[in-house]
């Protein structure tokens, strides 16, 4: 059905009636692809939202996609999805009629306030995940999940909108100015490269939204939309802990998995919703694990009694083997390499207090020269479960960006040292220890390493000839397969 022709059919203003029933009341939003109006459905006498496709996108192909996606999205019925009531074409104007949600957008919320409390961010993300899980079950991929498309109703409901036009993004050119404003931040890597996109693209976008809710910033920024979109092809997302250190490690690990550059390693929406529900009651800080979160699905399961008994036997056998192996020089070397067994201090050495020492990161190949300095306090707090961590890199060799990364301990005075111990660390990484009277600006100026170790798995003891100096540096040369290093505690010892 069409309305009575006006003098100017394309004149859109308050008071105009479209499709003979929808009276436009006032403009709600004006985006890059459409305008949204609060309108009145005069037949059913209820408020609705009317989304009108911009005229410059009204070519036959785009219009056909617009209508087709609108009809498909109208089949979705879920409490967290904005309902689509109708589509129409009226004198060259294409529109979608949607449920009106009285409230604000998540975009407005983030722009006008601080990062969200973990519990609130989890609740919003879980509602969105539930909505997208339903869409994915019905074969519909949103493709444009972002805070502007997440509505926060005044009564507390969370609703996802814009299913009707999302597929249009497939035809947009990243280099066309203004076409992806507000969207480039949330594109999955496979969208940037033009590969086929499925529900895992929505997973990535929701991961970016969750990251932004928790930290107040998006993981990737740039001067242009194209630069923002392309950044995720070159570097992994920085860890959430870089911006916020009070989050439960399960929540951090989930965000990390959602932002994995490889679609096959991302969780599905059902897994995301389950994990979010499990972390909701413990969303704030909990000890981080010493190993990087596994990308495989993890679900509670019952362990047969026979396996428990077998486990006790195996553990006992391993303990006996460790005791026997540890009696030989080769065995002690193996235990030291693997980071297992007794880590008690040597009787021939004494601990050097680090409570007055100054700890700094040493990152000479970066712009600011440091990395996660705010986490260094955890290296001497006596708790191996609180960790300092490097950033996540593209490869174990720092993505080719740098030759290494260090932690420098300045004791404040010249001291004779014979041992550096690492405990509570991640696995598979390598490092060297250097000493100097003062911390040089260049790695080469530190001279020759006094000790090397690796691969390190959980713990390591760097033992070397007694050496005098004021500063000690642990220089990481290989991040291991995880492409990051976590360390719980560092300690120094001097000859007795």
- DSSP-assigned states of every residue in 93-117: EEEEEEE---EEEHHHHHHHSPPPP
pLDDT for 222 equals 75
pLDDT for 181 equals 37
Positions of CATH 3.30.200.20 in the chain: 17-99
Q: How confident is the model at residue 150 (pLDDT cuts 50, 70, 90)?
A: very high
Closest by CA position to 265, among listed 328, 189, 166: 189
pLDDT for 328 equals 38
CA distance 75 to 143: 17
Indicate which residues carry an active-site annotation. 144
CA distance 345 to 322: 18
* Top-confidence range, 156-160, 182-186, 338-342, 373-377: 156-160
CA distance 253 to 30: 36
- pLDDT tens-digit series, residues 58-98: 777 767 766 766 777 788 889 999 999 998 989 888 899 99
3-state SS assignment for residue 173? coil
pLDDT for 178 equals 40
Q: How confident is the model at residue 258 (pLDDT cuts 50, 70, 90)?
A: very high
Phi-psi sector, 50: left (phi>0), alpha (psi -120 to 50), beta:
beta
Is the distance from CB of 119 to CB of 160 less than 8 angstroms? no
pLDDT for 381 equals 87
- What is the domain class of 338-495 according to CATH? mainly beta
pLDDT for 307 equals 32
Question: What's the average model confidence in pLDDT over 395-405?
Answer: 89
> Higher model confidence: residue 178 or residue 389?
389
CA atoms in the 13 A half-sphere facing the CB of 303: 7
Which ranges constitute the DSSP H helices of 326-401? 329-338
Options 3.30.200.20, 3.40.50.300, 3.30.750.24, 2.40.10.10; CATH for 17-99 is 3.30.200.20
pLDDT at 460 over 50: yes
pLDDT for 281 equals 63
Which backbone phi and psi does 362 adopt, to 5 degrees?
-130, 105
pLDDT at 304 over 60: no
- pLDDT tens-digit series, residues 96-131: 999 999 999 999 999 999 999 999 999 999 999 999
CA distance 151 to 102: 9
Name the percent of the chain lying above pLDDT 70: 79
- pLDDT tens-digit series, residues 188-229: 988 887 777 889 999 999 999 999 999 999 998 777 777 777
Question: What's the average model confidence in pLDDT over 41-62?
Answer: 86
Closest by CA position to 472, among listed 409, 425, 414: 409
Which of 119-123, 124-128, 155-159, 328-332 shows the lowest mean pLDDT across its residues? 328-332
Task: Identify the DSSP state of 439.
Answer: -
**Helix (H) / strand (E) containing 56:** none
How distant, in Å, are the alpha carbons of 21, 186, 190, 272, 295 from that of 263?
44, 14, 8, 14, 11
pLDDT for 306 equals 35
Give the dihedral sign, CA 34/35/40/42. negative
How distant, in Å, are the alpha carbons of 40, 52, 152, 340, 391 from that of 482?
55, 47, 37, 20, 11
Q: How confident is the model at residue 339 (pLDDT cuts 50, 70, 90)?
A: very low
> Higher model confidence: residue 296 or residue 353?
353
pLDDT at 165 over 80: no
How distant, in Å, are the alpha carbons of 334, 338, 406, 444, 482 from that of 431?
17, 14, 9, 15, 15
> Higher model confidence: residue 239 or residue 324?
239
- pLDDT tens-digit series, residues 273-292: 989 988 876 655 444 333 33
- pLDDT tens-digit series, residues 424-451: 888 899 999 999 998 888 888 999 999 9
Average pLDDT, the chain: 79
Counts of helices then strands in the chain (DSSP H, E)? 10, 18
pLDDT for 425 equals 87
What is the fold, at CATH topology level, of the domain defined by 104-168+179-282?
A: Transferase(Phosphotransferase); domain 1 (1.10.510)
Positions of CATH 1.10.510.10 in the chain: 104-168+179-282
* β partners of residue 491: 421
User: What is the number of other CB atoms lying within 10 angstroms of the CB of residue 356?
Assistant: 9
pLDDT at 10 over 70: no
pLDDT for 399 equals 84
pLDDT for 156 equals 85
pLDDT at 134 over 60: yes
Q: How confident is the model at residue 179 (pLDDT cuts 50, 70, 90)?
A: very low
pLDDT for 348 equals 67
The alpha carbon of 161 is separated from its chain's Cα centroid by a whole number of angstroms, namely 23
pLDDT for 494 equals 92
Positions of CATH 2.60.120.260 in the chain: 338-495
> Higher model confidence: residue 249 or residue 24?
24
């Amino acid at each position: 059905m069409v309305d009575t022709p006006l003098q100017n059919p394309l004149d859109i203003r308050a008071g105009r009636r479209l499709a003979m029933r929808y009276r436009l009341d006032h403009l709600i939003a004006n985006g890059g692809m459409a305008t949204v109006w609060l309108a009145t459905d005069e037949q059913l006498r209820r408020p609705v939202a009317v989304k009108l496709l911009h005229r410059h996108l009204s070519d036959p192909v785009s219009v056909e996609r617009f209508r087709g996606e609108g009809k498909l999205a109208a089949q979705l019925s879920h409490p967290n999805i904005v309902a689509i009531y109708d589509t129409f074409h009226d004198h060259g104007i294409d529109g979608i009629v949607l449920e009106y949600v009285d409230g604000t957008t998540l975009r407005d919320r983030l722009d006008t306030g601080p990062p969200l409390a973990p519990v609130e961010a989890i609740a919003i993300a879980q509602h969105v995940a539930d909505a997208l899980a339903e869409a994915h079950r019905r074969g519909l991929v949103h493709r444009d999940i972002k805070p502007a498309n997440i509505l926060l109703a005044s009564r507390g409901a969370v609703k996802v909108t814009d299913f009707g036009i999302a597929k249009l993004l497939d035809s947009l050119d990243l280099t066309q100015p203004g076409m992806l404003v507000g969207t480039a931040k949330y594109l999955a890597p496979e969208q940037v490269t033009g590969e086929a996109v499925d529900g895992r693209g929505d997973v990535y976008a929701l991961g970016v939204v969750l990251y932004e809710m928790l930290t107040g910033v998006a993981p990737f920024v740039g001067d242009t939309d194209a630069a923002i979109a392309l950044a995720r092809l070159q570097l992994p997302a920085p860890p959430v802990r870089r911006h916020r250190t009070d989050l439960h490690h399960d929540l951090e690990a989930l965000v990390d998995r959602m932002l994995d550059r490889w679609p096959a390693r991302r969780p599905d929406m059902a897994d995301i919703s389950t994990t979010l529900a499990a972390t909701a009651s413990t969303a704030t800080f909990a000890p981080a694990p010493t190993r990087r979160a596994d990308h495989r699905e993890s679900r509670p399961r019952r362990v047969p009694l026979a396996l428990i008994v077998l486990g006790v036997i195996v553990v006992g056998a391993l303990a006996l083997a460790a005791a026997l192996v540890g009696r030989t020089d080769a065995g002690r070397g193996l235990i030291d390499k693997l980071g297992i067994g007794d880590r008690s201090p040597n009787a021939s050495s004494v601990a050097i207090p680090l409570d007055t020492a100054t700890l700094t990161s040493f990152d000479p190949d970066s712009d600011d020269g440091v990395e996660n300095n705010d986490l260094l306090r955890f290296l001497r707090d006596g708790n191996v479960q609180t960790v300092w961590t490097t950033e996540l890199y593209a490869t174990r060799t720092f993505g080719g960006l740098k030759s290494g990364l260090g932690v420098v301990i300045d004791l404040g005075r010249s001291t004779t040292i014979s041992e550096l111990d690492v405990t509570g660390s991640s696995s598979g990484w390598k490092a060297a220890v250097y000493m100097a009277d003062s911390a040089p600006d260049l790695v080469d100026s530190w001279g020759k390493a006094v000790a090397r170790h690796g691969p390190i798995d959980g713990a390591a003891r760097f033992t070397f000839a007694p050496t005098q100096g004021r500063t000690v540096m642990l220089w990481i040369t290989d991040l291991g397969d995880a492409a990051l290093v976590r360390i719980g505690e560092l300690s120094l010892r001097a000859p007795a």
